[in-house]
Amino acid sequence: MTISRRDLLKYGLGSVAFSLGATQMWGLAAQAAKLAPRQAGRAKILVVVQLSGGNDGLNMVVPYGIGQYYQLRPNIGIPQDKVLKLNQQVGLNPAMGGLHDLFQDGKLAVIQAAGYPSPNRSHFRSIEIWQTADPDKIADTGWLGRYLDIKQGGKDDIFPAVNVDPMLPKTLFGSQVNVPTVSNINDFQFQTDPFYRQDRQSQISAFNDIYASYGLKRPSLDVLQKAGIDANLAADKLHSIVNEYKGSAKYPDGNFGNSLKFISQMISGGLNCTVYGASLDGFDTHTNQVKQQDGLLKQLSDGIAAFYADLKAQKLENDVVLMTFSEFGRRVAENGGRGTDHGTAEPLFLVGGMIKGGVYGDHASLSDLDNGDLKYQVDFRSVYSCLLDKWLDSDSKGILGRRFEDIGFLA
């Protein structure tokens, strides 16, 4: 099959986006495809999992030892005899056996009642606050985007971080870096006509030849040329990693389990990447909460447990810390629909081989409330600060604007 330059530009160029938006393609073009493997045992990797919708922390980390809990939640409260105990006051939802096992092994830290002053109950504004770590103004960059800007320092890297969801969260917005979103590895490749599979390699070879020898010396075309070559190299690298993966952990079915498995594949495959982002959606439980949230918490627990087991089997568990967060918790009292409405403070989870397991901070009072909501006990930026300073070897003050308390959950 003969492919002309004109035919390729006319029919094939648009499909080289590999599920990247136009902005990301141009951003990748500004970077060289430096795909040197990461050395196992020498890395510090952060995986951030967003629980989208506003997770009800009181039915995830259950205050079974506080009497007001059952008074305020007569229909949706988790029965005391089913709670997976963490201490004499709180325990995990019974759907979270995998995370309970990690807690007993000292690999799960539970940060209680995390929040910030003057909380916002809007999904859009609150998630922006958690993603940018700036409650006082609308920021242009995310807290990890600012970290990546500093870490990269102008260095070329096609994978400064990887987001495995369809939409890039503001957490990973930087002013200098461009983070690729790879929600489906099968779509992150040169797209050719599926009815002519035998022509696929010919088209890829033609594409590479044309882009490598593009002769018009114009800045915009140079950018486009580099974008195509770098994106093709990136796709080849990721597919090679996936094909070589030898893990045996049993991940739960569904997008969340697949996302964590893909992240494990990239880590175990040596991708030189520091930060990964993923999410689990569906936590806006205004009605019939128990069944819906229990199913989500089981996915979360089983997925993280499988992820940790996968890394441990490859002796990589000390290289990785995983953190969960949501945009807000829920109100303390149940509503008339056997659900809960938008609230404030929430618990965070941290998992990893270098985590000092335990319950951190005091549980918020269930009687001394702020208009029916919990009063936060730990500023969420204290968690970010500890991760930046002690895990990612960065300067949290330069990223967050000031110093915050060291909670001490890292070994």
Q: pLDDT tens across 304-319, in order?
A: 999 999 999 999 999 9
Listed residue (40, 48, 109, 103) closest to 319, CA to CA = 40
CA dist 18 and 162 (Å) reads 14
Look at 153 and 82; give whichever has higher pLDDT. 82
Listed residue (174, 93, 164) closest to 131, CA to CA = 174
Residue partners of 301: CB distance under 8 A and separation at least 6: 92, 95, 96, 97, 98, 99, 100
pTM: 0.86
Look at 216 and 244; give whichever has higher pLDDT. 244
Backbone angles phi, psi at 129, to 5 degrees: -65, -45
Render pLDDT for 119-133 as a digit per residue (tens, 0 to 9). 999 999 999 999 999
Do 280 and 257 contact (CB within 8 A), yes or no? no
- How many residues comprise the chain? 411
Please report where in the chains the tokens 């020898």 appear, as a residue: 213
Give Cα 218 distance to the centre of its chain: 38
Mean of pLDDT over the chain: 87
Q: Both tokens of residue 134?
A: 């700036």
Q: What is the pLDDT of residue 216?
A: 62
CA dist 131 and 257 (Å) reads 23
Look at 4 and 159; give whichever has higher pLDDT. 159
**Complete domains list, the chain, with CATH:** 5-400 (3.40.720)
Share of the chain above pLDDT 70, in %: 84
Do 333 and 372 contact (CB within 8 A), yes or no? yes
Is the pLDDT at 258 greater than 50? The verdict is yes
Is the pLDDT at 25 greater than 70? The verdict is no
Is the pLDDT at 346 greater than 60? The verdict is yes
CA dist 407 and 35 (Å) reads 35
Render pLDDT for 41-56 as a digit per residue (tens, 0 to 9). 567 999 999 999 999 9
Give Cα 347 distance to the centre of its chain: 16
SS3 string, the chain, reads CCCCHHHHHHHHHHHHHCCCCHHHHHHHHCCCCCCCCCCCCCCCEEEEEEEECCCCHHHCEECCCCCHHHHHCCCCCCCHHHCEECCCCCEECCCCHHHHHHHHCCCEEEEEEEECCCCCCCHHHHHHHHHHCCCCCCCCCCHHHHHHHHHHCCCCCCCCEEECCCCCCHHHCCCCCCCCECCCCCCCCCCCCHHHHHHHHHHHHHHHHHHHCCCCCCHHHHHHHHHHHHHHHHHHHHHHHHHHCCCCCCCCCCHHHHHHHHHHHHHHCCCCCCEEEEEEECCCCCCCHHHHHHHHHHHHHHHHHHHHHHHHHCCCHHHEEEEEEECCCECCCCCCCCCCCECCCEEEEEEECCECCEEECCCCCCCCCECCECCCCEEHHHHHHHHHHHHCCCCHHHHHCCCCCCCCCEC
CA dist 397 and 23 (Å) reads 30
Q: Which of 34-38, 181-185, 372-376 has the lowest mean pLDDT?
A: 34-38
Listed residue (340, 343, 339) closest to 326, CA to CA = 343
Is the pLDDT at 17 greater than 50? The verdict is no
Render pLDDT for 372-394 as a digit per residue (tens, 0 to 9). 999 999 999 999 999 999 999 99
Is the pLDDT at 26 greater than 60? The verdict is no
CA dist 112 and 369 (Å) reads 16
